[in-house]
Amino acid sequence: MEFQAGNSWAGVWDRFRKGDKEAFAILYNSHVDALYSYGCKLCHDSGLVKDALQEIFIELYNKRESSNIPIVRLRYYLLLALKRNLVKKLVKGRKYLSMDGKADFPMLDEPSEETKWIEQERSEEVSDMVGRTIEILPAKQREAIYLRFTHCLDYEEISRILGISVESVRKQVYRGIKSIRNSIGKESVALFLLFSAKKS
């Protein structure tokens, strides 16, 4: 079931809270791909990510009547719930953890969507520089940039997901963009950010 003209997100959310399974399917299909992509950036184990996704959507459905989540903040809520779920699983399995005991944000072996697009639109030389720059960014910079420009979360929302202050988020985003800009130039950074925003 997909979102169609004539529906409103407020209406879909209201129907979902009343137990409408078609409305639940609309919400699920509207968010699952982006959540899966984010989860795979946190953890290389796709099976673990799928398990976590299933659990957070089941929890969302089971708590639908008492939920006071505004529909406009649902994506943020789901991203945060997914990360918390994965961190618990990763801590239990001792997989892909950073030195501070939190889930790291490793890059996938497969190129990111941003890198794929740049490889298509820019010269091979520029694409190589972008790929190398993204790969060497610190974990929190990569995650902050991803949440900011792919999911269009505000700095306060990102700070809650990363567990750092709003000011620290701003610094992580600024430093990440600065590193990319220094490697590929201002014009390429603008295209990179424009593409990311359109993917949200």
Rounded to two decimals, the pTM is: 0.58
Domains and CATH numbers, the chain: 9-93 (1.10.1740.10), 113-199 (1.10.10.10)
* Residues 6+ positions from 131 with CB-CB distance below 8 Å: 111, 115
| Digit-coded pLDDT (tens) for 27-65 | 999 999 999 988 888 888 889 999 999 999 999 999 988
| Digit-coded pLDDT (tens) for 86-128 | 888 877 765 544 434 444 444 434 445 554 444 454 445 555 6
